[in-house]
């Protein structure tokens, strides 16, 4: 998560439970009697009272208690002030009677109840519980804000809260193909998963929005850390969460477009969208893009894949009062969606994250017993009655976070600030258009130095995919390394190292294929088989294409034959038919299945001693002619002798 404004030490979320005593003139000295807040319920309504349990200590003999209710506060600054002093007049004061007669909530504590009749006006009311001496002086007191929910006649204008969980780490794949998850990263993911698990256990479970990076899921699946399987189970059980279709690794859409490899955005999105289905059996929502580093060209690609809004920070939105350092003037940021003038043609809008509210809610609880109700009160007052839709983005939580403490309150059916899915409002609460968003200028990444190498590697991996075969995961593993090279958070040297490692694996696989065996062969009959030996030095089978050609040999099975070459040596017997006798040059090539790369080639010298059909016919014809000539010659030589002999007789 991007860093928000510096937290103000006096912010109500971080105030310690030191219920400051009233001014010295109001408190009797010299007594050990004390009072402190031990527990409390959330708010008061027409039907439900608020209970305030206080722990009393010291010498309380003869003491009494009184509760004061003050008017609803106007802003968060008054809320901070109300922790140490009175704000406004008193709308109701109730003497509770002797301390010892007040109802016991638990050993050592007394319970104060306030109903809707005690606090009638919707809003945040400072409530003060006093421990008074027999003489009427204030010995000690407790201050806490109490929310009065709205009624049908007098509703309480309140914000709606959307929680976006960033469940991902920096790219985990290293150039050697291993995945690295540090203990620090595992710890952060465990805290986030614990919160998601807490949400899933509520009934009904509020809807969270999960930005789960698929690369992180794969790293957890292969991690040897004992926490990893539990984290995956917790994420898998979060069925009520909306899983956004994240790219496989976090990328800058603008950087890809600027480098001339914008189409890679389609690949990282397509690969990433499969992760929730393959791992958890549920589809992901493509409508949200988790980053605002977007150009018009990239926006068009995002829209084609179903994206409707992008997430941005409130530094990009001109929200009145959001940048004011005065605690009381910082209003909640209306999320939108808001128009983005630079992306108007694409149709994309922006959802604005309230960074200050995000930082406040992920802070630790501290020592305040009423920290959660105070947090809800602060959100109400910062909304200033506008009924905003507010988005907070969470990338880490302390073990005891304010957000976790406030979760049961926010998820309650009667919560004045409900947890909802991402807002879909296009106008502000007053009916006018919301303020537009100006996207940050300049991409966070520069991918131009590696763009050409990326393209070369991309082609090589595609070729290797056919070479390694459909049953092999080797090409998919190389594609992961290749895609990781364009991830955010890497320096150019790291990107080059990933691409170099891919090219080295591909080249090693291709170089492991050679032709071997004899090159001088004899063909003693008109038809036969030529042995071709393929040596595979890889430890896995590969698919190759054998091409063979010769001007004086015919190949009945064709001149191209696909072969699965097992490790070691694979022999292929190719059927041939001789068209002539003598030495017949024959050329053999081994290519990748797509034919794009020659892995090895050689010339075979085939000596054919067979007579072809044409030669045999010519020879027989010649013999026939010779026979006829001999017969005729013989007859001629016999004819004249017989005549002479006759005449002599």
Q: What does the block give as tokens for 1?
A: 């998560």
Q: Quote the percentage of the chain above a pLDDT of 90.
A: 61
Inter-residue contact 400 to 365 (CB < 8 Å):
yes
Give residue 261's pLDDT band: very low, low, confident or very high (50, 70, 90): very high
| Of 447, 432, 109, 391, the residue nearest 257 (C-alpha) | 447
The CA distance from 288 to 22, in Å, is: 51
Q: What is the DSSP letter of 510?
A: H
- Work out whether strand 288-289 and strand 309-313 pair parallel, antiparallel, or are unpaired: parallel
Q: Which tens digits make up the pLDDT trace of 103-140?
A: 999 898 999 999 999 999 999 999 999 999 999 899 99
Residue 480: its pLDDT value, please? 94
Query: Which positions ≥6 away from 636 have C-beta within 8 Å?
Result: none
pLDDT of residue 482: 96
Contact present, 343 and 384 (Cβ < 8 Å): no
Pairing state between β 138-148 and 123-132: antiparallel
- The answer on pLDDT for 188 being more than 80 is yes
For the stretch 262-271, pLDDT in tens is: 999 999 999 9
Is pLDDT at 5 greater than 60 in this prediction?
Answer: no
Position 273 pLDDT exceeds 50: yes
Q: Give the mean pLDDT of 171-181.
A: 93
- CA proximity to 351, closest of 292, 304, 305: 292
Helix 402-410 vs helix 371-383: angle between axes, to the nearest 10 degrees?
Answer: 70
Q: What is the mean pLDDT of the chain?
A: 85
Token output for 512: 């492991």
Report residue 307 as tokens: 């994206």
Q: How many CA atoms lie within 13 A of 235 on its CB side?
A: 34
Helical (H) or strand (E) element with 451: helix 451-468
> Which band of pLDDT confidence, cut at 50, 70 and 90, is reported for residue 283?
confident
Residue 23 pLDDT class (50, 70, 90 cuts): very low
pTM given for the model: 0.82
pLDDT, tens digit, 9 for 90 and up, residues 602-633: 998 888 876 555 554 555 565 666 666 666 67
- Which residue do the tokens 């606090």 mark? 119
CA 52 – CA 66 distance, rounded (Å): 13
Strand duo 338-339 + 123-132: pairing? unpaired
Give the model's pLDDT for residue 195: 92
How many Å apart are CA 171 and CA 195, to the nearest integer? 23
- Please give the backbone phi and psi of residue 164, each rounded to the nearest 5 degrees, phi first: -110, 120
pLDDT for residue 350: 92
- Given this model, what pLDDT does residue 422 score? 84
Torsion of CA 179, 180, 181, 184, to 10 degrees: -170
How far is 586 from 602, CA to CA, in rounded Å? 9
Task: Say yes or no to pLDDT of 239 above 90.
Answer: no
pLDDT at 421: 86
Cite the DSSP H helix spans in 469-586.
Answer: 474-484, 492-511
> Residue with structure tokens 């191209």?
560
Helix (H) or strand (E) holding 466: helix 451-468
- Greater pLDDT, 321 or 380: 380
Who wins on pLDDT, 202 or 538? 538
Render pLDDT for 601-610 as a digit per residue (tens, 0 to 9).
999 888 887 6
Kindly report whether the peptide bond that precedes residue 348 is cis, defined as omega within 30 degrees of 0: no
pLDDT tens by residue, 82-99: 999 999 999 999 999 999
What are the helix (H) ranges across 292-398?
296-304, 355-361, 371-383
pLDDT of res. 205: 85
| pLDDT at 321 (0 to 100) | 45
pLDDT score of 212: 92
Instruction: Give the helix/strand (H/E) hosting 197.
Output: helix 183-200
The pLDDT tens digits for 402-461 are 999 999 999 998 899 999 888 765 444 444 556 788 887 766 789 999 999 999 999 999
Cα 89 to its chain centre, rounded Å, is 52
Q: pLDDT tens digits for 538-571? A: 999 999 999 999 988 889 999 999 999 999 999 9
Q: Note the pLDDT of residue 611.
A: 53
Task: For residue 369, name the pLDDT band (cuts at 50, 70, 90).
Answer: very high
State CA 196 to chain mean position distance.
15
The average pLDDT across 508-525 equals 88
Maximum mean pLDDT: which of 234-243, 357-366, 577-586: 357-366
Tokens 């190498």 sit at which residue? Answer: 453
CA 236 to chain CA centroid, Å, is: 14
pLDDT value, residue 639: 57
Q: Please tell me the distance from the alpha carbon of residue 287 to that of residue 1, in angstroms, as a whole number.
A: 20
* pLDDT tens-digit map of 34-74: 999 999 999 999 999 999 999 999 988 999 999 999 999 99
The answer on pLDDT for 648 being more than 80 is: no
Distance of CA 112 to the CA centre of its chain: 48
Strand ranges for 168-304 from DSSP E: 209-212, 242-243, 288-289
């Amino acid at each position: 998560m991007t860093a928000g404004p510096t937290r103000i030490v006096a912010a109500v979320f971080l105030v310690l439970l030191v219920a400051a005593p009233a001014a010295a003139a109001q408190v009797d000295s010299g007594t050990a009697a004390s009072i402190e807040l031990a527990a409390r319920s959330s708010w008061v309504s027409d039907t439900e009272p608020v209970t305030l349990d206080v722990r009393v200590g010291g010498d309380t003999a003869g003491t009494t208690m009184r509760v004061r209710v003050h008017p609803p506060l106007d802003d968060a600054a008054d809320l901070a002030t109300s922790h140490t002093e009175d704000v406004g007049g008193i709308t109701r004061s109730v003497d509770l009677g002797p301390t010892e007669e007040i109802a016991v909530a638990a050993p050592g504590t007394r319970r104060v109840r306030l109903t809707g009749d005690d606090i009638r006006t919707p809003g945040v009311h400072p409530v003060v519980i006093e421990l008074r001496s027999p003489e009427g002086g204030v010995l000690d007191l407790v201050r806490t804000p109490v929310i009065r929910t709205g009624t049908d006649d007098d509703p309480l204008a309140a914000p709606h809260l959307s929680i976006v969980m960033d469940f991902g780490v920096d790219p985990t794949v290293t150039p050697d193909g291993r995945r690295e998850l540090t203990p620090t990263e595992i710890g952060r993911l465990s805290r986030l998963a614990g919160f998601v698990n807490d949400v899933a256990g509520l009934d009904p479970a509020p809807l969270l929005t999960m930005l789960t990076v698929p690369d992180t899921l794969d790293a957890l699946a292969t991690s040897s850390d004992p926490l990893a399987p539990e984290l995956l189970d917790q994420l898998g059980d979060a069925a009520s969460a909306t899983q956004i279709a994240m790219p496989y690794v976090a990328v800058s859409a603008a950087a890809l477009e600027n480098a001339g490899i914008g189409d890679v955005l389609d690949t990282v999105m397509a690969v990433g969208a499969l992760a929730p289905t393959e791992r958890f059996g549920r589809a992901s929502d493509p409508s949200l893009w988790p980053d605002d580093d977007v150009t018009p060209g990239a926006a068009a690609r995002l829209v084609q894949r179903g994206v409707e809004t992008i997430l941005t920070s409130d530094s990009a939105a001109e929200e009145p009062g959001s940048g004011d350092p005065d605690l009381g003037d910082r209003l909640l940021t209306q999320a939108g969606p808001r128009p983005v003038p630079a992306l108007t043609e694409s149709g994309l809008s922006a959802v604005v994250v309230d960074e200050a509210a995000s930082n406040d809610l992920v802070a630790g609880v501290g020592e305040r017993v009423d920290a959660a109700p105070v947090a809800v009160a602060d959100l109400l007052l910062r909304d200033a009655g506008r009924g905003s839709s507010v988005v907070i983005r969470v990338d880490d939580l302390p073990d005891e976070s304010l957000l976790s403490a406030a979760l049961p309150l926010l998820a309650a059916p009667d919560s004045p600030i409900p947890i909802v899915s991402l807002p879909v409002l296009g106008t502000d609460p007053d009916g006018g258009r919301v303020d537009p968003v100006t996207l940050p200028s300049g991409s966070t990444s520069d991918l131009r130095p590696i763009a050409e190498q990326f393209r070369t590697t991309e082609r090589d991996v595609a070729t290797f995919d056919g070479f390694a075969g459909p049953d092999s995961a080797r090409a998919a593993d190389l594609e992961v390394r290749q895609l990781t090279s364009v991830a955010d958070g890497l320096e150019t040297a790291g990107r080059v190292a990933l691409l170099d490692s891919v090219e080295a694996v591909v080249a090693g696989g291709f170089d492991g294929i050679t032709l071997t065996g004899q090159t001088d062969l004899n063909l003693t009959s008109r038809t036969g088989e030529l042995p071709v030996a393929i040596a595979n030095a890889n430890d896995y089978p590969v698919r190759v294409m054998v091409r063979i050609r010769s001007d004086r040999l015919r190949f009945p099975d064709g001149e191209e034959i696909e072969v699965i070459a097992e490790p070691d040596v694979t022999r292929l017997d190719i059927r041939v038919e001789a068209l002539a006798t003598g030495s017949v040059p024959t050329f053999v090539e081994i290519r990748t299945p797509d034919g794009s790369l020659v892995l090895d080639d050689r010339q075979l010298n085939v000596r054919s001693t067979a007579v072809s059909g044409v030669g045999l016919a010519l020879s027989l014809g010649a013999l026939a002619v010779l026979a006829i000539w001999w017969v005729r010659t013989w007859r001629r030589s016999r004819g004249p002798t017989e005549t002479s002999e006759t005449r002599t007789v």
